[in-house]
Structure 1
Amino acid sequence: MTEPNHPAVRENKVPEPTASFWAIKILATTVGETAADLLASSLHLGTQFTSVVMAVVFLVVFAVQFRSRRYIPAVYWLTVVLISIVGTLITDNLTDGLGVPLVVSTCVFAVALIATFAVWYGVERTLSIHDIVTRRREAFYWLAVLFTFALGTAAGDLVAEQLDLGYLVSVFVFAVAIALVAVAHRVFRLGAIVAFWIAYVLTRPLGASLGDLLSQPTSDGGLGLGTIVTSLIFLAAILALVVYLTVSGRDRTPVPVAAGLDEDEDERVRA
């Protein structure tokens, strides 16, 4: 029960970007790469059929996430894993199915992401992930997340093809890039929101490179674990971290809202 003269509190729908957040994000992006390959190639379902099936599954889970009134770790991170797979498949369909050059898809997704941020800020006057407390803000958030996965896939594949770095070197390059973003934020005062979203995009090619390093045959420069084993290992790690966060609640951010307002009323007040 809310104490008198204190604002009601509703949880932010997005977890705090703690170390656990970034660990699960990288694990989820790895699963997005390996699971998409597993379903489309190893199980011979084909990219198009896999895309349809995963899109339907994602929409069902997303509906649960979107309609919930609070942050639920299991639902949120399942949504992230599924949107990672869908984002990967979108780029794969454009590249392999329609023959769209990676440089074109990279530019298109970059423009789409920038446009999403511009409209989001124009409507809400904030891009903060610490204040995703209305459905409209959450809609902008998930649209941005989808474009970050698609952009990260296209840009990562473009870099891999153009530079032919190999999986291990690619993991190192993208890890260093994320570290430089962290340094720019902490030392050179790069804005927290800008730093967050740049790092969010970069975790996609980092996770994909890590997944390829583990799953691909040794003859191709990988460790030969295969997509099934790699996917199961990373899904188990995600599950363990999600259980920890569910029990500990360390990634929750209470957000004060006007007392006595339901979600729709609060959204109108904030609009």
Structure 2
Amino acid sequence: MTHGTSQSTSQSPAPTAPGAGAPSGRRPRRNKVPEVTLYFWIIKVLCTTVGETAADLLNEKAGLGLTGVSLLMSALLAVVLVVQFRTGAYRAGVYWTAVALISVVGTLISDNLTDNMGVPLETSTTVFAVVLAVVFTVWYRRERTLSIHHIDTTGREAFYWLAVLFTFALGTAAGDLVSERMDLGYWLSAVLFALAIAAVALAHRTLGLDAVGSFWIAYILTRPLGASIGDYLSQPTGDGGVGLGTVVTSALFLTVILGLVVYLAVTRKDVAPAQEAVRHAD
């Protein structure tokens, strides 16, 4: 998946002159998201795990109710996204904080529809899939690319984060739907979603599945994968989990995420060489 997605840099148009595709919004100097490396996928899965366990933890311990927690986390996400949009280039700490918060908010959106409003998972999964398809369609019609190697205008960044939000919401609803219908348990569910991601990677490498499409399909599937891992570790042994609890599981994964993000911020191993060259030229 890493190699294939990188190939999309040359396949997707990246207009640089006025009138060459006329990308919307102000053009920052560098790409605003990291390169798709092994580190990217590890942190992404860890963030989805935290999204599941932290949402459960806040709902249980905060005393605000599902709606109150949703409003609080949405406000925090809005603040971090403002900071993210105001940065001139990719910053590991800001970017991954936004991903972690958006994973929680995406989970809470799905949980609110299911638990507070009684919307069936079949309905919410369908609605989120349609909304995500609309986001991708409008994004492509305006920018002529969905590649994350070209998140270099305000407009493209807005589409990117909107898509990310709905991938988390869709992944939550679809993952819950599969878990309920198939009743596989947490561990087998994690294996199922991991195999689905592997199948996407194999289809990309051997059958020519589009790199950008492969990336976004895998991105969606990492959400239920991370949630299944989080539930397996946090839920009581009587319910098929390990019994670590939401506090320990959330703290454990947040610690690993923090360590990896600090490492990337220092080494910049997830920044493309061309982007690094621009940085040194500043």
TM-score by length of 1: 0.90
> CA RMSD, aligned part only?
1.4
Given the alignment of the two structures, is residue 209 of structure 1 paired with residue 189 of structure 2, yes or no? no
Provide Cα deviations, 1:82-121, integer angstroms capped at 9, x if missing partner: 0000000000000000000000000000000110010000
* Superposition deviation, residue 244 in structure 1: 1.0
Provide Cα deviations, 1:200-248, integer angstroms capped at 9, x if missing partner: 0000000000000000000000000000000000000100110111111
Tell me if structure 2 keeps the 8 A contact 1:10–1:255: no
1:121 match:
140
1:262 match:
none
Correspondent of 1:166 among 182, 185, 193: 185
Correspondent of 1:80 among 91, 99, 111: 99
AA aligned opposite 2:180: E
AA aligned opposite 2:268: G
Correspondent of 1:14 among 33, 47, 54: 33
Equivalence map 1:1-271=2 (5 Å): 10-253=29-272, 254=274
Counterparts of 1:46 and 1:135 in 2: how far apart (Å)? Answer: 34
AA aligned opposite 1:181: V
Counterparts of 1:247 and 1:113 in 2: how far apart (Å)? Answer: 34
Counterparts of 1:205 and 1:44 in 2: how far apart (Å)? Answer: 26
Counterparts of 1:92 and 1:140 in 2: how far apart (Å)? Answer: 23
Counterparts of 2:61 and 2:43 in 1: how far apart (Å)? Answer: 25
**Local SS of the residue matching 1:10:** coil
Moved more, 247-256 or 9-18: 247-256
Counterparts of 2:128 and 2:38 in 1: how far apart (Å)? Answer: 27
Counterparts of 1:146 and 1:158 in 2: how far apart (Å)? Answer: 19
Gaps of 5+ in 2: 1-16, 18-27, 277-282
Counterparts of 1:119 and 1:252 in 2: how far apart (Å)? Answer: 28
* Superposition deviation, residue 41 in structure 1: 1.7
Aligned residues: 249
Counterparts of 2:100 and 2:275 in 1: how far apart (Å)? Answer: 25
**Local SS of the residue matching 2:45:** helix
Tell me if structure 2 keeps the 8 A contact 1:131–1:255: no
* Superposition deviation, residue 42 in structure 1: 3.8
AA aligned opposite 2:240: G
* Superposition deviation, residue 66 in structure 1: 1.0
TM-score by length of 2: 0.86
Provide Cα deviations, 1:124-183, integer angstroms capped at 9, x if missing partner: 011110010000000000000000000000000000011111001001000000011110
Counterparts of 1:140 and 1:218 in 2: how far apart (Å)? Answer: 41
Moved more, 95-104 or 42-51: 42-51
Counterparts of 2:99 and 2:39 in 1: how far apart (Å)? Answer: 14
Counterparts of 1:12 and 1:61 in 2: how far apart (Å)? Answer: 18
Counterparts of 1:41 and 1:112 in 2: how far apart (Å)? Answer: 30
Counterparts of 1:102 and 1:21 in 2: how far apart (Å)? Answer: 29
